Amino acid sequence: MQKLNVVRLADDARSVTILDQTRLPNHEEYLTLKEPQELWQAIKSLQVRGAPAIGVFAAYAMAVLAENETDLGPAEFLTTFNEQADYLNTSRPTAVNLSWALQRMKKTAAAHQDLPVPELAQCLVEEARAIDAENREMCRKIGEYGVTLIHEGDGILTHCNAGYLACVDYGTATAPMYMAQEKGLHIHVWSDETRPLLQGARLTSYELYKAGIPVTSICDNMASIVMKQGKIQCVMVGCDRIAANGDFANKIGTSGVAILAEHYGIPFYTLGPSSTIDLSTPSGDDIRIEMRDPEEIGSMWYKEPMILPEIEKFNPAFDVTDHSLLTAIVTEKGIVYPPFDVNLKKLFANQ
């Protein structure tokens, strides 16, 4: 399977290099970043995207900032580090992996604050590398659980991009697809284009094609007809935040796909790391939805605006799918079935 290097920490840990996903699929370009504002902007502008990849990137970003501040005194270093983490956390509010990774790095800094600053910075580098390694293992395990839900000849519909481009390795929603390929199963993936930023068209279909997995790209409003024609046996999507009752936020349009799947009797799965589960968020009503630049709808992809500038545009980045539409949640710890409010708690009972 051909993969691109999505996020990589420099050997001296003073910069982090990312594949600029805003340039795909026609241009494979890399950015090397080290300043707080450009690290923040990389997340905000979707140069790095996908909840797990954002978590890995955030950890590496904090490691870079730590290595570049080792001339500060211990107290000033810790204050600056925490301020930079809080600043980075404002880049995107919906994906819980961002705040999760930043909080983990802050805890590591606090736990080692009595060390000399250079040694403390090295602890933070090691913690960031651990987050990356754990993420890769997490993706593999999600794939192993998820592939048990796939059968020979299945057609699988996916929305947005929850592949290795979004997750560094294997992906979440695509991990079972890669595992199916490794096991010799013949599948066909139908990739929603995912308006307005076209992550499905630009990224998912791109990476699956590169991997040799049969894939057909469709407009978002074509999902119903391929379901009705019997081409889809299950839906697998990623998630950016899962509430305690099983409601989950994912890229805008996901809830509509879930409603269609319910209508046609097609199993609907969301796949993501346990770090995406936020038991402190009671339901989807409590998930803050990021609003993005309206011109992503009106003029971003066009030589001339497709919507008059005077017309108001509404551009939420995510929507929330109700848990009642969800067949199961696949995590690296196993497959969670309803009732989600009970079984999600059980997932963490032994931690």
Number of residues assigned to the chain = 351
How far apart are alpha carbons 195 and 16 in whole angstroms? 29
Q: How far apart are the first and last CA of the chain?
A: 35
The answer to whether 132 and 162 are in contact (CB under 8 A) is no
Q: Alpha-carbon distance 226 to 220, whole Å?
A: 11
State the SS3 of the chain.
CCCCCCEEECCCCCCEEEECCCCCCCCCCEEEECCHHHHHHHHHCCCCCCHHHHHHHHHHHHHHHHHCCCCCCHHHHHHHHHHHHHHHHCCCCCCHHHHHHHHHHHHHHHHCCCCCHHHHHHHHHHHHHHHHHHHHHHHHHHHHHHHHHCCCCCEEEECCCCCHHHHCCCCCCCHHHHHHHHCCCCCEEEEECCCCCCHHHHHHHHHHHHHCCCEEEECHHHHHHHHHCCCCCEEEECCCEEECCCCEEEECCHHHHHHHHHHHCCCEEEECCHHHEECCCCCHHHCCCCECCCHHHHCCCCCCCCCCCCCCCCCECEEEECHHHCCEEEECCEEECCCHHHHHHHHCCCC
Amino acid letter, 192: D
Kindly list the catalytic residues: 240
